[in-house]
Amino acid sequence: MSITQTIKQTLSNTSFVKSFQCFKKNNILNYLITVMYDLAYYLGFAFIIFTFIRYVLPKATFLFKAKTFVEGMQNLPAEQLIPMAQQMENSIYFTGALSVVAMLLMLFSFSFFKGLVWSRIQNVTYTLKAFFSLSAANLIISLFFVGMLFIGVYLIDQSNQIKFLLWFTVPFTIYISHLANAIVGFTVNSAKETPAISGKRTVINPSKETGLRKTGFAEALSKFFKAAFARIYLFIIPYAILLIMLVVIIKFMITINFLPPKIYYLIYLLLFVSYSCWAKQYLWLVIRNLLAVSKT
């Protein structure tokens, strides 16, 4: 075998090259379905945000009356201040309750649609047990993100807060979110006794190739922590490749910014979602190989 053939065979066996098999004729339908699931998540997310801004924030009267109330404590009689205070209190409870509902909807929406995407990629049945496990994992990640924001605001020097957010908090949260949803979902999804949300489909990387024994949520977390932290160095190159691909997409979008805004943002959304689904295909091949090696 010549050196050229050896290099070609070696490259063809890499996860990066294999990830493009999702665009082949026998896999493209499954890939387009994952794109539709991912697109549905972003549209649902935008709908929740729009609804919150349109209908909830205007009810947050305490935000607008707080200054008036504080100033009025010195000038207004108690008869006027008491109703104002009660109205502000009711507004706080109302807005707080709806804010919690909105955050839970975003959490469940993320877990549901991202679970559908990963299950299609992994060729496993998406179960209710997996959905609740992903919701629990994503809740933990959300709390981690809030904790990092707290550290950034109260413990990091103000001049370095943005750097801490952009260079550590956001990238690391995305990293653990990817791995958690992929590993936890795959590990838990085998529970035969739980109702299926979506069935199996033929994709480029069936999970049976790994020979893994999939178990419950505790085992899923154990695998996640082992892969995400003990083996973090194995994801440096894959994420560097993903970053380069993302930069290429951004450069391309800059070159077509002459298009009408509606067309431009539609292209941007479709291109980003398509990239995101391919990136998950690539990451899953990397994760699957890692889990298979860990099992042996």
Cβ atoms of residues 135 and 220 within 8 Å: no
pTM of the model: 0.79
**Rounded to an integer, what distance in angstroms lies between the CA atom of residue 276 and that of residue 253?**
16
Beta strands in the chain, from DSSP E residues, in sequence order: 126-127, 196-198
Our CA angle for 90, 93, 94, nearest 5°, is 80
* Other CB atoms within 10 A of residue 88 CB: 19
- pLDDT in single tens digits along all 296 residues of the chain: 565 555 555 556 788 888 888 888 888 999 999 999 999 999 999 999 998 888 877 766 555 556 565 555 556 666 666 676 677 777 777 778 888 899 999 999 999 999 999 999 988 888 888 898 899 999 999 888 888 888 887 878 777 878 888 888 888 888 989 888 888 888 886 544 444 445 444 344 444 444 344 457 777 888 888 888 888 888 999 999 999 999 999 999 999 998 999 999 999 999 999 999 999 999 999 998 887 755 55
